[in-house]
Amino acid sequence: MKKLTLAVAGSLFMFAGSVQAADLVAGQAAFEKFACASCHGADAKTSSLPTYPILAGQHADYLEHALRAYKRGQAGMPASANVRNNAVMGAMATPLSNADIENISAWLASLPSPLSTSK
Protein backbone atom coordinates (compact mmCIF):
# COMPACT_ATOMS: atom_id res chain seq x y z
CA MET A 1 0.00 0.00 0.00
CA LYS A 2 2.79 2.38 0.93
CA LYS A 3 4.56 1.57 -2.35
CA LEU A 4 1.39 2.28 -4.30
CA THR A 5 0.90 5.60 -2.51
CA LEU A 6 4.46 6.60 -3.30
CA ALA A 7 4.02 5.62 -6.94
CA VAL A 8 0.83 7.66 -7.25
CA ALA A 9 2.40 10.63 -5.48
CA GLY A 10 5.46 10.36 -7.71
CA SER A 11 3.46 10.34 -10.92
CA LEU A 12 1.36 13.28 -9.73
CA PHE A 13 4.55 15.20 -9.02
CA MET A 14 5.91 14.41 -12.48
CA PHE A 15 2.62 15.51 -14.01
CA ALA A 16 2.66 18.80 -12.13
CA GLY A 17 6.26 19.34 -13.19
CA SER A 18 5.45 18.87 -16.86
CA VAL A 19 2.65 21.46 -16.94
CA GLN A 20 4.10 24.86 -17.73
CA ALA A 21 2.20 27.44 -15.70
CA ALA A 22 1.79 30.89 -17.26
CA ASP A 23 4.18 33.45 -15.85
CA LEU A 24 2.37 36.69 -14.94
CA VAL A 25 5.57 38.67 -14.34
CA ALA A 26 6.93 37.63 -17.74
CA GLY A 27 3.54 38.48 -19.25
CA GLN A 28 3.64 42.04 -17.96
CA ALA A 29 7.28 42.39 -19.08
CA ALA A 30 6.40 41.18 -22.60
CA PHE A 31 3.40 43.54 -22.76
CA GLU A 32 5.82 46.41 -22.05
CA LYS A 33 8.65 45.10 -24.25
CA PHE A 34 6.41 44.72 -27.33
CA ALA A 35 4.93 48.23 -26.81
CA CYS A 36 1.36 46.94 -26.40
CA ALA A 37 0.81 49.61 -23.74
CA SER A 38 1.27 52.41 -26.30
CA CYS A 39 -2.24 51.70 -27.62
CA HIS A 40 -3.96 49.58 -24.96
CA GLY A 41 -2.59 51.53 -21.94
CA ALA A 42 -0.16 50.35 -19.26
CA ASP A 43 -3.13 49.06 -17.24
CA ALA A 44 -4.60 47.48 -20.42
CA LYS A 45 -7.87 49.34 -19.90
CA THR A 46 -6.99 53.02 -20.43
CA SER A 47 -6.56 52.85 -24.20
CA SER A 48 -5.03 55.75 -26.10
CA LEU A 49 -8.07 55.78 -28.45
CA PRO A 50 -11.61 54.64 -27.59
CA THR A 51 -11.56 52.24 -30.55
CA TYR A 52 -8.68 50.23 -29.00
CA PRO A 53 -10.27 47.42 -27.00
CA ILE A 54 -9.96 46.93 -23.25
CA LEU A 55 -7.86 43.82 -22.63
CA ALA A 56 -7.70 43.81 -18.80
CA GLY A 57 -10.03 41.25 -17.26
CA GLN A 58 -10.77 39.39 -20.50
CA HIS A 59 -10.65 35.61 -20.36
CA ALA A 60 -7.12 34.34 -21.03
CA ASP A 61 -8.27 31.74 -23.56
CA TYR A 62 -10.18 34.40 -25.50
CA LEU A 63 -7.08 36.65 -25.62
CA GLU A 64 -4.83 33.76 -26.67
CA HIS A 65 -7.25 32.82 -29.43
CA ALA A 66 -7.42 36.43 -30.66
CA LEU A 67 -3.62 36.80 -30.77
CA ARG A 68 -3.19 33.51 -32.64
CA ALA A 69 -5.95 34.55 -35.07
CA TYR A 70 -4.11 37.83 -35.84
CA LYS A 71 -0.90 35.85 -36.47
CA ARG A 72 -2.75 33.53 -38.87
CA GLY A 73 -4.27 36.50 -40.70
CA GLN A 74 -0.87 38.16 -41.05
CA ALA A 75 0.54 34.84 -42.38
CA GLY A 76 -2.04 35.00 -45.18
CA MET A 77 -4.36 32.20 -44.06
CA PRO A 78 -7.81 32.38 -45.69
CA ALA A 79 -10.58 34.03 -43.67
CA SER A 80 -12.32 31.81 -41.11
CA ALA A 81 -13.53 32.00 -37.52
CA ASN A 82 -9.91 31.32 -36.48
CA VAL A 83 -8.37 34.06 -38.61
CA ARG A 84 -8.44 37.81 -37.97
CA ASN A 85 -7.30 40.13 -40.73
CA ASN A 86 -6.16 43.32 -39.04
CA ALA A 87 -3.02 45.06 -40.29
CA VAL A 88 -2.18 46.70 -36.96
CA MET A 89 -2.69 43.71 -34.68
CA GLY A 90 -1.32 41.29 -37.29
CA ALA A 91 1.98 43.15 -37.20
CA MET A 92 1.93 43.34 -33.38
CA ALA A 93 1.08 39.66 -32.81
CA THR A 94 3.47 38.13 -35.35
CA PRO A 95 6.69 38.44 -33.27
CA LEU A 96 5.02 36.88 -30.18
CA SER A 97 6.09 33.33 -29.24
CA ASN A 98 3.59 30.83 -27.83
CA ALA A 99 5.02 31.51 -24.36
CA ASP A 100 4.62 35.28 -24.87
CA ILE A 101 0.98 34.77 -25.91
CA GLU A 102 0.22 32.56 -22.91
CA ASN A 103 2.02 34.79 -20.39
CA ILE A 104 0.59 38.08 -21.72
CA SER A 105 -2.94 36.62 -21.82
CA ALA A 106 -2.71 35.25 -18.27
CA TRP A 107 -1.40 38.58 -16.97
CA LEU A 108 -4.15 40.54 -18.77
CA ALA A 109 -6.83 38.19 -17.43
CA SER A 110 -5.57 38.71 -13.88
CA LEU A 111 -6.02 42.51 -14.01
CA PRO A 112 -8.96 44.36 -12.46
CA SER A 113 -11.28 45.71 -15.11
CA PRO A 114 -14.74 47.12 -15.82
CA LEU A 115 -15.29 43.97 -17.94
CA SER A 116 -15.36 41.82 -14.83
CA THR A 117 -17.49 42.07 -11.72
CA SER A 118 -15.50 39.49 -9.73
CA LYS A 119 -12.11 41.28 -9.55
Residue 71 in the binding site for ligand HEC (CB under 6 A): no
| Residue with smaller CB distance to ligand HEC, 22 or 89 | 89
Judge contact between 30 and 104, C-beta under 8 A.
Answer: yes
Q: Give residue 101's identity as a one-letter amino acid code.
A: I
Residue 52 in the binding site for ligand HEC (CB under 6 A): yes
Judge contact between 27 and 103, C-beta under 8 A.
Answer: yes
Instruction: Work out whether the CA dihedral 13, 15, 16, 18 comes out positive or negative.
Output: positive
Q: Give residue 83's identity as a one-letter amino acid code.
A: V
CB of 99 to ligand HEC, least distance (A): 13
CB of 89 to ligand HEC, least distance (A): 5
Residue 69 in the binding site for ligand HEC (CB under 6 A): no
Residue 89 in the binding site for ligand HEC (CB under 6 A): yes
Q: Give residue 59's identity as a one-letter amino acid code.
A: H
| Residue with smaller CB distance to ligand HEC, 36 or 106 | 36
| Residue with smaller CB distance to ligand HEC, 66 or 106 | 66
Using CB under 6 A as the criterion, which residues of the chain lie in contact with ligand HEC when the complex forms? 34-36, 38-40, 52-53, 55, 63, 66-67, 84, 86, 88-89, 92, 96, 104
